[in-house]
Amino acid sequence: MKSIKVGITGGIGSGKSFVAKIFKTLGVPFYDADKQAKIMMVKSESIRRGLIETFGDEVYFGDGSLNRKWLSAQVFNAPDKLELLNSIVHPVVIQDAVDWAAAQTSCYSLKEAALLFESGSFKTLDYTILVVAPEEIRIDRVMARDNVSREEVLNRINKQLPDEEKCKLADFILINDGSEPLLPQIYRLHKQLTSTC
C-alpha cells in the first residue's frame, strides 16, 4: 500500500512547526524540509558545487561547514541572488523528500516546509495543510520567539506568499489563532486522512 504524501506549511509565526510536532506525536512519519536543507547544504555534493560556483569559496569555511551568516548577508535584500540560492537547494531537497516519502509504509507521511507552495514542491504531494493565524498574532509570536523588531517580522512576512494565495492552493486549513481550539482540528484531520487507507 502506497503511503499518502501530505505537506504542511504556514507563514512565519503561524505555528506550523508546533502543529507538525503534534502530528508527529500521533505517530505520523515526519520530514522537516527546512532542517534537511541545512544538512544537505553541507552534505550534498551537487549543492556544494552549485553554491561555490555561484557565490565563491567564501560560502564554506575551511572545515567544510557552511558560512551561513555570510551567505545570508549575500542574499538578504537581493531577490535575484536568493532565487539563485533556492534554485540550487530546492530541487535537491524536493527530490530527497520524494525518495523519503516513497520509502514510508504508514497510512500517510508528513512533510513540513516553509516554502511548500513557493518552491513548487506541493506538486509532488497528495494533499497540503495550511496553518493560518491573524497577522498581529504572528507578529507578536515571532517578536517574542526571535527577539526581533516588528519591522523585521513584517519584512519576513512580506517575503512570503500571502495567506490568501496559499488558501487557494491548500487542501486543508488549520486555524491557530489562540481562540479556536487547535487539537480537535488536528485530530479531526488525522482521522480523515487515516480513514482513506
- Grid coordinates representing 16 are 506550523
- The predicted model gives 56-77 an average pLDDT of 91
- The predicted model gives 181-197 an average pLDDT of 94
Same domain flag for 89 and 143:
no
Same domain flag for 22 and 110:
yes
Same domain flag for 21 and 116:
yes
pLDDT digits 0-9 by tens, 44-63:
999 999 999 999 999 999 99
**pLDDT cut 70: percent of the chain above it:** 99
> Could you say which of 70, 103, 136 is where a domain stops?
103
- The predicted model gives 79-88 an average pLDDT of 92
Among the residue ranges 4-18, 67-81, 171-185, the one predicted with the least confidence is 67-81
Q: Which residues contact 70 (CB under 8 A, 6 or more apart)?
A: 58, 59
> Could you say which of 103, 122, 143 is where a domain stops?
103
Nearest Cα to 129, choosing from 97, 186, 174? 174
Same domain flag for 113 and 174:
yes
Number of structural domains found in the chain: 2
Residue 14, number of CB atoms within 10 A of its CB: 28
> Could you say which of 103, 129, 147 is where a domain stops?
103
Bridging pattern class, strands 108-112 and 127-132? unpaired
Give me the domain span that covers residue 92: 34-103
CATH number at residue 99: 3.40.50.300
- Which residue's C-alpha cell is 491557530? 176
Residue 69, number of CB atoms within 10 A of its CB: 7
Same domain flag for 93 and 166:
no
pLDDT digits 0-9 by tens, 109-147:
999 999 899 888 999 999 999 999 999 999 999 999 999
C-alpha pair distances (Å), 10 with each of 162, 169, 175? 10, 12, 10
Whole-number pLDDT of residue 159? 83
Whole-number pLDDT of residue 1? 64
Same domain flag for 72 and 23:
no
